[in-house]
A and B are shown apart, each in its own frame.
Chain A
Amino acid sequence: MSDLKITRRSAFEGLHPIQVEGSVTVAPTPYATRFSFRGDAKAASACSKGFGVLLPNDLLKAESDQGRTAISLGPDEWLLIAPDGEVESLEAAIAKALGDQHQSLVDISHRNTAFTVSGLKAETLLASGCLLDLHISAFPVGMATRTIYSKADIILWRTAPDTFHVELWRSFVPFVWGLLEEAAHEV
């Protein structure tokens, strides 16, 4: 057996920062623990106990508490986000809360990564590739959904009136980042 040394590399390594003074900033978020949870309403309510945050029943909503977030993506699908390094402890806690209920919990901590888009022109910058109406009346704080930015699947979550959390597969980062960098010249 060869000795493998595996080092974690950020998907944002080597990318130029995107910052337009007084207008918009795009910044990578720290590493995080992430799960994709699938199950019915009963399983979701049990999972809430193990995870420590209520998995929202309403669609396209994010619920956050003490650094943990649950986002309802579809009728039986949630994205769970927690601080880095909690994979094992959360897996155990959720498994315990669920007992023998039918569900699926998949660790996607290394598949997904995320960045924030914040500032007065956050909406405008995202609108360069996002097809949804991002006005606060149509996309309020606490709303979250899977959608597309240009051709990449993203999960868009509005965390504050002028801040969005953008969750995506790490391999899409150079593509999305490049387009945002271009668009930032024009906001």
Chain B
Amino acid sequence: MLLIPCPHCGERPELEFRYAGEAHIARPADPSSTSDQEWAEYLYFRSNPKGLHIERWRHVSGCARFFNCVRDTVSDKILKTYPAGQPKPDLAVVLKEAGQ
């Protein structure tokens, strides 16, 4: 079983977690002034990379908090997790820290 390092609880089994989609997607501050295209981009369009992906997870059967995670979509390896609210990390730095 995959062990996911929750930034609050430490390494815990993946069954305690729920995936919650790509991270750092800000809701437009003034939805009524966005174009249909911009709103569609916000709602539906995701980067879907092959490689490093920054995503939200929720430790629902643990501390129940949402947090962010950098995961390699090829190997499923998790390189970094950090509390929600922290800025988007520089992926080059994350790779270096993970020794890759």
Contact = CB atoms under 8 A, between A and B. Distances in A.
B61 A146 contact: yes
Interface stretch (B6-14, B23-31, B46-54, B68-76): B6-14
B91 interface: no
B13 A73 contact: no
Interface in B30-85: 61-65
A76 to B, nearest CB: 9
Contacts of A73: 63-64
A131 B9 CA distance: 14
Contact of A131 (B8, B15, B63, B64): B15
B93 interface: no
Contacts of B63: 59, 73-75, 77, 146
Contacts of A131: 1, 13, 15-16
B64 A148 contact: no
B2 to A, nearest CB: 11
Interface residues of A, number: 13
Nearest to B62: A146
A146 B63 CA distance: 7
Contact of B61 (A59, A60, A77, A148): A148
List the 9 closest pairs (A to B, CB-CB), nearest first: A74-B63, A131-B13, A148-B61, A74-B64, A153-B61, A74-B65, A146-B62, A59-B8, A75-B8
Given A60-B9, A148-B15, 16 more contacts: A59-B9, A73-B64, A74-B8, A74-B63, A74-B64, A77-B64, A131-B13, A131-B15, A132-B12, A132-B13, A145-B9, A146-B64, A147-B12, A147-B16, A147-B62, A153-B61
